[in-house]
Amino acid sequence: MRSVAIRFGQMLLVLWAVATLLFFLFRLMPGDPTAAYIDTTFTAEQQEALKKQFGLDRSLPEQYALYFGNVLRGEFGTSFRSKRPVFEMIFEVLPNTLALTALSITIAYIFGVLVGAWLAWKRGSIAEAVGIPIVLTLRAAPEFWLGMVLLAIFAFGLGWFPSGGANSAGADYGSTLARMTSADFLHHLILPSMTLALYLQGLPLLLMRSNMLDVLQEDYVMMARMKGLPEWRILLMHAARNALLPVVTAFALGLGASVGGNVVVETVFSWPGLGRVLVDAVASSDYPLAQGAFMFIALILIVMNFVADLLYSVLDPRVAHG
């Protein structure tokens, strides 16, 4: 219980550091945020008024105090550009990002774990000689390229899948839940999540394989073999269970990381998600929105890290006592 409390404290410390870093990072960036609004219909007085409205006319420490007070109250302010509450903007696209992330990472890990274990078992065979280079190529291929290739083949060419967006033009579902469970939404989800899954599968696969190779050297596997157990049973019940532990950590962390890290896939497939909101915000020096989005992503990542820690101590009691 004490170790949980310590970890929790560490988590808060990291969050504070992230929040502070974000604040200064954006203010050190070159370019006046109000410059994004320049237009010939815009005067210097309006410029000043805008700065005042966003508190940019105050000193840095003042801005920091103001910002931190707001963060503590969960108040991320309103976007410079759209003038809408940051929270509202994030939550509008969050379901799309979560759907894409959850589906692709689940596919990637199930595939990665099974194939990784199998390739370890087949060590030295032709399957390995062919499989490993394919896995490495997919892992190393740029996501946008992979995405464009899938688009060119399955959307523009064969026409099996739509070329972008999260639903057909003008489709109306009433609620977010109804939309996300509709066939149309899933149809749109397949290509982007396949792209992301192809990219993500490398890590669990290679991790699983190398763990398996270690575990297969262990005495208890030898023992199982000597008992004459069937191969699949040794593979799954004896070896894979133990080799799975680090993969679980990677899964939790990967889930956190890819919530914010889908920018490329979201852009290629015009998927309305958090990553693109973030990129647009940074590009237009929209401090509140960018800070809000970054904070949110950091929060998810740090919480997932915490969850991974807890999970690990449940799966492997040695960790909790160590």
Partner 1 sequence: MNLHRRVLTLSMLAAVASAPLMVASPALAAGDPIRKIVLATAAQAADPQEYQAAQLIAQEWRKLGLDVEVRGFPRQQLSDYVWFNRQKWDTTMWRMVGRPERSDPDELVFNLFHSSTAEKGFNFVGYTNKEYDAIAEQQRRETDPAKRKAEVAKAQAMVAKDAPYVFLVHPKNTVGYLSSVFKPDTVVDQGGIGIRNFWTFTQAAPAGTVKDIIANSTDPLVSINPLYISGAVDSWVTELIWDRLMRIGPDGLPKPYAAQKVTWADATTLDVELKPNMKWHDGKPVTAEDVVFSFQATMGDKSPMYKPFSSNIASMEVTGPGKVRFKLKEPNASFLTSSIAKINLIPKHVWEPVLAGMAGKPENAESYQEKQPVGSGPFKVARFKLNEEVVLEKNADHFAAPKFDRFILRVIANNEAGLGMLKRGEVNFLSDYRGDPKLLNDMAAQQKDIQVASTVDMGLRFVGHNLRRQPFDDPAFRQALSIAVNRNLMAQAAWNGFAVPASSMISPALPFWHTGTPPKASIDEAKAILKKAGYEVVGGKLSYPTGKKETLQPE
Work out whether 192 is an interface residue with partner 1 (CB under 8 A): no
Work out whether 162 is an interface residue with partner 1 (CB under 8 A): yes
Per-residue x/- marks for partner 1, 22-41, CB under 8 A? --------xxx--xx-xxxx
Tell me the C-alpha distance between 150 and 160, whole Å: 11
Q: Which is nearer to partner 1, 43 or 59 (CB)?
A: 43
3-state secondary structure 54-121: CCCCCCHHHHHHHHHHHHHCCCCCECCCCCCEHHHHHHHHHHHHHHHHHHHHHHHHHHHHHHHHHHHH
Burial state string for 80-100 with b = 16 or more CB within 10 A and e = fewer than 16: bbeeebbeebbeebbbbbbbb
Work out whether 159 is an interface residue with partner 1 (CB under 8 A): yes
Work out whether 156 is an interface residue with partner 1 (CB under 8 A): yes
Token readout for 188 is 């749109």
Q: Which is nearer to partner 1, 41 or 217 (CB)?
A: 41
Work out whether 93 is an interface residue with partner 1 (CB under 8 A): yes
**Member of 2, 5, 61, 83 binding partner 1 (CB under 8 A):** 83
Minimal CA–CA distance to 273: which of 47, 101, 21? 101
Contacts 24+ apart (CB under 8 A), 229-233: 231/121
CB of 35 to partner 1, least distance (A): 4
The phi, psi pair for 78, rounded to 5°, reads: -115, 150
Work out whether 317 is an interface residue with partner 1 (CB under 8 A): no
Q: Which is nearer to partner 1, 104 or 249 (CB)?
A: 104
The answer to whether residues 306 and 252 touch, using CB atoms and an 8 Å cutoff, is: no
Tell me the C-alpha distance between 184 and 161, whole Å: 10
Residues 252 to 311: which contact partner 1 by CB under 8 A?
Answer: 266-270, 272, 276-277, 280, 284-285
Q: Look-up: residue for tokens 């420490």?
A: 61
**Member of 42, 91, 160, 220 binding partner 1 (CB under 8 A):** 42
Work out whether 165 is an interface residue with partner 1 (CB under 8 A): yes
Which chain residues interact with partner 1 by CB under 8 A?
A: 30-32, 35-36, 38-44, 46, 49, 52-53, 78, 81-84, 89, 92-93, 148, 151-152, 155-156, 159, 162-170, 172, 266-270, 272, 276-277, 280, 284-285
